A and B are shown apart, each in its own frame.
Chain A
Amino acid sequence: MRFILNGEEREVRSAPLARLLDVLREECGLTGTKEGCGEGECGACTVLLDGAAVCSCLVPLAQTEGAVVTTIEGLGDDHPLQRAFMDEVGAQCGICTPGMILTALSLGPRPSPAKLRQGLAGNLCRCTGYEAIYRAIRAAT
């Protein structure tokens, strides 16, 4: 299977029904995408697939042929959202943060409070109560 991973063409050999999440974490060695539930409820495994936020725990590798995949590693280590999440304490324990940042990215520039509230509903956070996440996204977009 071949897809574009964080801007570079990548060929992987995992089975067609392997979850994209496992392919990223194991075969590609990118552990920034996290498993929180395995059922598409928590959003910790969110990646961008052709620009759209999806739960990588629900995507079979077979459906990624030729797709553009972006993981948290694709943002580097100095993206404004990353800095804002640490400075505004949008990340406490950090396990939901990669998925949260990618979903936030997919919402476009300066999302309204209502759009944020609805748009992030597929990314669970147990630490922050969400307020600081809104603060972080506002600070960075």
Chain B
Amino acid sequence: MRLTAVGHSVQRKDGIGKATGAARYADDLVYPGMLFGRTIRTTVPCGRVKGVALESDPSGFTVVDWRDIPGRNAVALLELDQPCLVEREIRHAAEPVLLLAHQSRDALLEAGVRLDEEPGVPVFDPEQSPRSFKDILIEKGDLKAGFAKADLILEGTYRTGAQEHVYIEPQGVIAVPESDGIAVYGSIQCPYYVHKALDVLLGCSGRHVRVVQTETGGGFGGKEEYPSMIACHAALLALKASRPVKLVYDRAEDMLATTRRHPSIVRHRSGVTRDGKLVAMDIEVILDGGAYVTLSPVVLSRGVIHASGPYRCPHVRIRGRAMFTNTPPSGAFRGFGAPQTQFAVEVHLERIAEALGVDPVRLRERNALRPGDLTATGQKMGSDCSARAVLREAVRRSGFRRKRKAVADSGRGVGLALYWHGSGFTGSGELQLASRATVETTPRGVRILSSSTEIGQGTRTMHAQIVAEALAIPYEDVEVAVPDTAVVPDSGPTVASRTCLIVGGILEQAARELRATLGDRSPGEHHRRNGPLAVTREYVQPEGIRWDEERYQGDAYATYAFGCDVAELTLDPETWEVRPAKLTVVVDVGKAIHPALAAGQVEGGAVQGIGWALLEDVVMRNGAMANAQLTNYLIPTSADTPPLDVTILELPFAGGPFGAKGLGELPIDGPAPALVNAVRSLGVDLRAIPALPEAVMEAACASS
């Protein structure tokens, strides 16, 4: 049957507000009697707070410390270890200690606060850390037997650095006291995460909590967990002052205090046969989790599951550890562990090809997963396994082989990377989330109620397309409710490439059920005649998915999307600057619900990957980010971004809405290894990112 909404680049549900200035982001909102908030933070990376006090004239100021917390002094996430406000023990620099609010922003900024700290001895090196947040072991086959079959054994250590999200809209919320509780409006990816954190913070005080997402200027995972912290702070101030409180960070505070991508050290020891078959992979993954648990166990989980790459190998061991250090906690960032571990495996594979004298494409073709193959966790690949298809198309389209042969003459490096990305929460995660979404009738059609947030990736539009198609009604008749926890059910967080596959899937089921109930009637007609009708559906795990959390065995994800990048670049002989010339990207996402929005995700994710690989460097000094401004933390401008040639293949996944898999994170997995492999093709032995000119210079001089 011909699709009328899905698969077309229909007019977006966002309207034109983003382009006219009418769209309202958190800092655009003003409430009568509103106060501004400010956070006083630690300066030392560990130790104790001996005292903190406002030294200015206190009139007009609302002051909050940990004693004002009615419930639990914790920002609830996976665990309750992270305090909302420091009581005494300091675990990282920029940890929040005191909150101030005042009607005048000037008075607020000029307020003098005295903070007495007693410094301790910090741990900064994750490999020296005494404590891990999580350890994971994946085992397949018999490693020793595997190595015994190898003709060549190659080892290597690969490193990736932290990365700042640099959503162009810094973080912020406004807390507004309501008669029976508190409402928080803000730049938020996961309203229900914030809701839960407020419940824990405020305790069983009978207060009603409501969280509403405002138009959000980018998230990339950075607004998954941290908004809970800001919301808790703003709520405490608002409740104490009985006034609305706007707490918005400027760029420097945002970079200094909020989460960033986990830095990684990944060690590989691999055995291959002479003709390039992988027979043994021993991988060690170390992530720097910072000072509190936050989401490190889950980042580690995704990281280790993806660590052996989209390849088949009979004997695999992957050991992962997420370590404690005295730095601001690392957190969710697009890719969530997979970019880090896939950087390592793809550069390692390149080195294997170099050592064997084998063509890098042949090496990957030989070992790429095919339908029927088993992954490291023992998951059997289905017909939606498209590793070789994307590889072939990327190689063909980019002219990889011809360009690779010409490297010496052209002085233009060319490298490739093959990658995969599981869609949805790992293992039993989706079952535990038990997400729900609702389709209800309106006088004009239907309305979607879900907590999935639009953060630029096209949630509103894509969900409306799915519902319109499944209900067989015009796309124009579908509206999408604002994610307001007072109104919408908990559809789980807007993360993990699940918004289409999982939540879109639930909405598709709800829409189909509604259609069955309506018969031939239009929903608007039914609504006008019989009153409102709502269908709520919950996530149902697909048949046959099995996951063993103890042994880390089984079906880690319902499906994987696949991608292959070819990077072409030049290396400046005088300055060692890496200049990307072109990036060819081929991805298979099952089905592009909105082709233009899908292309946008691929292009944007690719450029974020380029930035992570070549430009973005978090400089830490005594446990704090020393270059917390955009002058010194560099993301790609238009002048730094090479032409992108993007192809989206659609090899349908039967378990996804209209064949769709997940898409949002996949594109950031490819560029970094592709670029580094392109640099390698010029004879420079690079194994770490960011590949800043200084680092390339050192590697180039060592290689020659």
Question: A residues within 8 Å of B by Cβ?
Answer: 25, 30-39, 41-42, 44, 71-73, 75-78, 81-83, 85-89, 91-98, 101, 116-118, 120-133
Q: Which residues of B contact A88 (CB under 8 A)?
A: 596
- Chain A residue, CB-CB nearest to B29: A31
* B496, CB-defined interface residue at 8 Å: no
Residues 163-198 of chain B, each 1 if its beta carbon lies under 8 Å from chain A, else 0: 001111110000000000000000000000000000
Contact between A38 and B250, CB atoms less than 8 A apart: yes
SS of B interface (majority): loop
Contact between A86 and B14, CB atoms less than 8 A apart: yes
The one of B218, B596, B637 that contacts A127, using a Cβ cutoff of 8 Å:
B218
The one of B169, B457, B604, B606 that contacts A36, using a Cβ cutoff of 8 Å:
B169
CB A82 to nearest CB in B, in angstroms, measures 4
CB B194 to nearest CB in A, in angstroms, measures 19
Contact between B638 and A93, CB atoms less than 8 A apart: no
- Chain A residue, CB-CB nearest to B633: A41
Q: Which residues of B contact A117 (CB under 8 A)?
A: 638-639
SS of A interface (majority): loop
Contact between B16 and A82, CB atoms less than 8 A apart: yes
Q: Which residues of A contact B32 (CB under 8 A)?
A: none
Residues 113-141 of chain B, each 1 if its beta carbon lies under 8 Å from chain A, else 0: 00000000000000000000000000000
CB B36 to nearest CB in A, in angstroms, measures 12
- Could you pull out 19 A-B pairs where Cβ atoms are within 8 angstroms? A35-B27, A35-B170, A36-B630, A38-B252, A41-B629, A75-B20, A77-B16, A77-B20, A83-B19, A86-B16, A89-B599, A92-B457, A94-B217, A124-B637, A128-B607, A129-B600, A129-B603, A129-B605, A129-B641
CB B460 to nearest CB in A, in angstroms, measures 12
Q: How far is the CA of A37 from the CA of B255 in the complex (A)?
A: 11
Q: Which residues of B contact A73 (CB under 8 A)?
A: 20-21
Q: How far is the CA of A72 from the CA of B639 in the complex (A)?
A: 24
* B681, CB-defined interface residue at 8 Å: no
Q: Which residues of A contact B560 (CB under 8 A)?
A: none
Which B508-536 residues sit within 8 Å CB-CB of chain A?
none
CB A103 to nearest CB in B, in angstroms, measures 10
Contact between A124 and B635, CB atoms less than 8 A apart: yes
Which B585-612 residues sit within 8 Å CB-CB of chain A?
596-597, 599-600, 603-608
Contact between A41 and B18, CB atoms less than 8 A apart: no
Q: How far is the CA of A32 from the CA of B25 in the complex (A)?
A: 10
* B271, CB-defined interface residue at 8 Å: no
Residue from B218, B630, B638 whose CB has the most chain A CB atoms within 10 Å: B638
Contact between B599 and A124, CB atoms less than 8 A apart: no
CB B409 to nearest CB in A, in angstroms, measures 26
Q: How far is the CA of A77 from the CA of B22 in the complex (A)?
A: 9
